Each structure stands twice: as C-alpha cells, then as structure tokens.
Structure 1
Amino acid sequence: MSQFDTDLIIAGGGLAGATLALAMARVLPEVRVTVVEAFPLAAAALPAAYQPSYDARSTALAFGSRLIYEELGLWSRLSEHVTPIRRIHVSDRGRFGATRLDATEHGQDALGYVADNRWMGLCLMRELLDSQVQWRAPAEVVDMTAEADGVRVVLNDSQGRQSLTAQCLVVADGGRSGLRETLGFQPRHHDYGQNALIANVSTSDSHQFCAFERFTDAGPMALLPQGGGVRPGHQSALVWTLSDQALADLLERSDADKCRLLQERFGWRLGRFTRIGECSHYPLKLTTVDEPVRPGVALVGNAAHALHPVAGQGFNLALRGLMTLVEQFRLATEQGLSLGDARVLRRYQQHHRQDWQQTVQFSDSLIRLFGPDLAPVAAVRDAGLVGLDLLPGAKRWFARKAMGLGGRRAVIHRPGGPNRESSDHA
C-alpha cells in the first residue's frame, strides 16, 4: 500500500462521504482514508453544545439505517436528538383509500427516525476527528486518471492544483457537482415535471410521532414528525410537490397564505397549520447511473442515484450501498487485491444492484401510481391502500420496505467485535 499517497480518496464529506469514512475507520483501520471536502473542517468549528434551529433540514432514517449506525458505534450519540416515527399514515386526498403502519405491529419502538442533518454531521465529524481519517478541506476533486493498480486524483485547494495517488476514488459529493460527468459517467434522468418544496411547519395538534404520506391530485406530500423522542411535539418536516406555476405562486405569498394553501392540500389531521419556516425547493428528477463503477472509481449516494424524496428512501438506500462497498473492500484486503480493482468494484455493483433496482422501482411506482387523477387509476390505488390494511402479508411487505429491511443484507465485520447483518432484523 505504501506506493500510494493514500489508499482511498472520498470526494465529498457530507453525510454519505463521512459515513463511508467512519465505516472504513471501524472495519478497516489499517486502510488510509483521505476525505476531500469543499467546506473547511476544524475541531474548533464544532460547537460544544448542539442548538437545533427551527429551519434545520432533516433526513428520514429507516429502522435498518439505525441498525447500521448502531454497528458503527454512532447511534447512542445520534439518538440524543432524533424523533421516532412510530406510525405512518398513507392516504389519497379526497378518496377512501388509506393504510396505517404501526411499529408495535412489528415488535419495534419505531418504524424509522427523523434526524437533523446538522446534528448528524456533527456526530460524524466528532467521531472522525478522533480517527485516523485524513481531511483535505477546503478542497475539491476536479479530475482523475487511471494508473497501474490505482488512480491519480487532481485536487484544487488553497495552494492551487495538486495530485494524490490512491488505490481507489469514491465519488460521494452528490449529483450536482459535475465531477460525475467530468469522469465520463452518463446519468439518466426522468423529469417528474414538478418541484419539491421543503420547509418545517407547526400545527395546533401534536403529531404523536406519526408521519403522513398524503397523495393529492396536484402531487404527493409528506409530513415527518420532529422535536425529539420524549414528548410528542407540534413541529413537522414538510415535503410538498408542486408544479412550476404553483411553486412560483406559493413563494410570492405570505406565510399565512402558505399555511392556508397547505391546509387545503393536507387537511385537518394535525389541526391548524400555525407556522411555516424558511422554504427551499428544487426540481424533481429520478437520476440513475446504469454503470456506477469502473476500474479505480465508484459512485455512491446521490452521485449514483437520486430518488423522489416523498418516499424517504434515498439516503437509506445509499447507506446500505456504502456498507456493501465496505464489505467488498474488506474482502479485497484479505485477497491482496487493490481497492480499485475492477473485480472488487464489479462485485460491489452486483451485490448492490438488486437493492438499488427494487428501491428505485418501489419509490418511482408510488409516484407514478399516485400521480394521475384518472378515475380508473384512482380506483385501483384506493383498492390497493385498503388491501394493504386488510392483507397482513402485503402490509408487512410494505412496512419492511418503509423500514429499510427489504434490501440485500450486508455483513459488517469489525476487528475484535461480533459480525452483524446490517440491513435486516427481527
């Protein structure tokens, strides 16, 4: 390994990149890992006490993702500020179809969790600063060329352009950086023709740790409970699907008008909407890369696949993929192979592909099924929702998908510790 400057370079130190770095530090501490991140990082920048913000953005963590973070030794800290999802209510606005999922029916205390992105980032950074993982920040990867048994990666930092050699590059900087295209990967996009508006909202009634998936004639919306896990609160994270014109109109309105329009779309299951925070938005696309690996480089997270957010599957799929990749890296070191060896990365792709295809299909099918407001389609989906409530087998399948327990199971091997399957349980 000494012929390289480092063994593994991770482009991007966000939630996916930082989680991969932590997993490598836990499972393969002998492998030298360097994270290249555009934002500066220093221990002094991490506050001693966490202060949640009303407008903080959040991520839905499936129950299977909790199991992964438990195995990585992060969950005990992370759980201090997560909100459990104990029930999920799925309904079709203006129609009779509905189904309800309850964690107690599956012997768990939660179906999933809602975590503040900033809190997750702080927890990951604190763990990583105590590890052997090296950081190059602020810096960004701008190019890569393949070399014998490895890669040469070109960085831009405060000193200008520099290069590092490594066994493998993992691209974890999302789908908007352009690095994926620079390296020659060809993503496929399906434009849903709509936008996601993201905001935090308050309601007069408590959410009682219930998440809502509401499908309307204008598109789906989701409300995820926020506020910690001790007492049910009145704040939820909103994902609201809107057309271009509806979004433009909404953004020009007052907060009171936004709440009124949201009330009309969602209904009164949480009482009156009393506050809406800062709104952000982005166009909705299903983005996939058919071949996310090649010798020396692999795409992960949103760089490899970006899903519609209303089903809450994107980050959880990425997390399972990261654990699959780490397992293949572990096997590579046992077999004396380079981390970037084509055989290693192809095995990762083969093991992750089924989970990736099934999750993309599950998420995309929900959006397509609940999108058209045509009478025959509406009748079928209403019958389907009622059927889920009446048929235990179908409901269990749906619940396991929502809990992130339907994918291929990756075994996490930690030196000196028990081995455990990361994405299935119970």
Structure 2
Amino acid sequence: MKMFSFRGPVAAAFLSAVLVACPQPSSPGDTLEGQAITLGYDLDLQLQQNFTGSWAVSSLPDWLSAVPSTGTGPLSLALHAKRSASVPTAAAQAALTGTVVVQWRSSDGKQTGEAVFPVQADLYRLQGQVGVSGTALVASDLSTSAAALRGLSVVPATPSRVIVTYRSAAARTSALGQERGVRSAAGQTLTLETTDVAATLARLRQQPGVQSAVPDAVMSALDLSQGAASAVPTATSTQALAAPLNPTDEYAASQWAYRLLGYPAVWRDMQQTPYTHAVTVAVLDTGVRYDHPDLKGKLYGPGDGALDVLGETTNGDGDGVDNDPTDPATPGRSDISHGTHVSGIIAANWGSFAPPCPTCSGSGVVGASYTAPIKVLPVRVLDAPGGNGSESDIALAVRYAAGEPNVVVGGKSYTNPHPAQIINLSLGGH
C-alpha cells in the first residue's frame, strides 16, 4: 500500500474538499451539528454523526425519506431520494434542495437543540450550451475566423453536392437509375453532383419517396495552435444563426419543457425542411375532448379507429366498450381531462381559434409536432374520474393500436384502420 503525505496550504485545501464531498462525523459529544448533505445522482446515502443523547427527525423535504425517525446514541439515518415526488413541479430546475431537521436532547437531559442539515439531489446537468445574444444564437463565422486560427488565407467553399435519403430501398434503387450525377450510394442514401444546389433540393423535396435532402456541407480543418486568444470571435467575425422559433400562443411561454429540450430550434428547422411523412400517435389514456378547438383536425374520431376498451359501465363514459372515447363531463369532477392534456402536448394547433367561452383562451398551448402531419388516435384505457385502468385492458389496447387484426374487446372484434407508429402511455403502476 502506498502512503501519501500533504503539508501546508495544499493539505488544508485537500482536506477541506474531502470534508465537503464526504461529511465526517463530529467528535463524540452531547450536541448534534448540522452539515451539508449532497446525494449527487445517487438514490441513497447514510448520514452518521457521533452522539450520546436521544434524537428525532422533525422535518424532511417531500422528496426524501429517512429511516429510522428516532433513536438514542449515534445519529444514523438511511436517506432515500424520491425524485419523482417533486419532478412534476421542480423538473425545470437542475437540483432538488431542502433541509433535514433533527431535534436532540443530551444524555443528561440538560441540553436540547436542533440540527439543520441542508440537502441537495441532482436532477440533471446541462453541458455544451450555446451562448445566447438577444434572441438569436451566435456562432463563429468559419469563413473568417478559420483564417485567423490558422494564419492562412481561406477561400470559403460552397457545396456542390446534395445528400438525399429515400424512404425505402426500392425508392433509392429507382432513383439510382434516373438521377444524373450520382457520386456515391450507400443504404437508402445517394450523393448527387449538381451545378444548382438550391434547385436540386427544391426538386427532390417534392418527391414523395424522398425522406430528406440536404446540401453536402463543406468542412474545414481548424488548427488551434495559434493560441486561444485568436479563436475569440469579434463583432466582425460573427453571424447570427436563424433565430429559434418561439410560438406566441397564450400559454406557450409556460411550456418550459420544450425550451429545455431545444424544440424552438427543431421548429425553426421544420420551416426550412418540412416533415411530410404522415404519423399516427395512439394516446392510451382517459379519452379526449373532441370539442376542444386546439385539437381541431388532429384527432381520429369515432368510426375512424378511436376506441373505448373499458367494459365496466361504472368507468369511462358508462356505456361499456365502443368506438367513442369521448372524455365524459363527469359530474362534480375537478381534475383536468388527462387524455386531452396529453394529446395537446403532442399535436395542439398553433395560432388562434374562436374562444369556446368568454373567459377561455383564444390560442391555448402548442403541440410539439408543429406542422408535421401527425394525428392522434385516442384509445380510452383509464377511467375518467380516477384515471385508473387494468393491465389487461392496457395490453389489449396496445395490440389494437399497433394494428394487430381482430382484437376481441367486450365480445366484439376490432381492427385499427390507422396502425400507430407511436404509442403514448402517460401512466404508471404502484
């Protein structure tokens, strides 16, 4: 075993770092002292501290459990992070924070006190974020800064090829015999030489067999040996990239998850290269409000594949299995229409509509799919009042949504005319 020794300021700094990373128990005594607790991404942590009296946990964050809650002698708590308890309201922040409060009494009964332990558990960590200037992302203009980095005279190169990806091998094979200027072929992709990139892109993007067509971008090697200072972009060596697309619907600003996941940049790119392949998303939930104006034109309805698999007349809309998963207006109900909520996240229309009531919004929220030709297939598997459903009903609905023929529900055979490419289940077990 190798032994290492540290002296002076370096030793002090090292010891301090160790103490912060791994809280050490205090010396034996009749008092408890608070200390910082950091779980990082762990679920469990053992909190220990020497003590000779009695103690009791009096306060915990809602996302943390501690066992045992009382004890005599050394403090020893098994902490367990229940991140899901706070994620619905705290997922927009990088970490959960709170305090563990322990009341204590000395062994001779003469002293009492309270020890406060600040606690933190990480949810996520963002890395590699692009700097933001105003509302536009800013990036270095390689045609000028690359020359500064290398000390060379660089002539910006423009693409003279197009990369086109076809939806099937058959479509690619057909194009291979028709397209001129084919430089390479691999899988379902061709690279084409062209004298007019813009015109070639426009032509290819109109073809139904084409999944995507993009310029064959020209890359340049960067040599950073000139020093970091020369790599700093100046006011004359920057260009604003196309600004992210931020919707203006009334409640879009509250949909923070889209921004966290980078959707504004995806929506911007969809304007330049629209997605044309039709997709069916089956939402297995409580059903849907067909009268909601923000979902107009985005739902498959009764007789078009929608289905209610709940056979009990006390669940759902009370009339058993049928092809109408309309989310019922349950008397005395105070919770939201969950199936409608989920469908809106996926496919709610952008822009304004006629408000359904004097106090209702005239634009609502926005769906992630933006202009993509996505339609939602509602399948009711959860009862509306409680939001509960059986595992067998849900499994049956998955088979139906996926397009398995002749699925028998409630004694009748059903086949989905619009098999789903995506099946959404926003539910969980206990």
TM range (shorter): under 0.3
* Structure with higher strand content: 1
The TM-score normalised by the length of structure 2 is: 0.21
The TM-score normalised by the length of structure 1 is: 0.21
Q: Which has more radius of gyration? A: 2
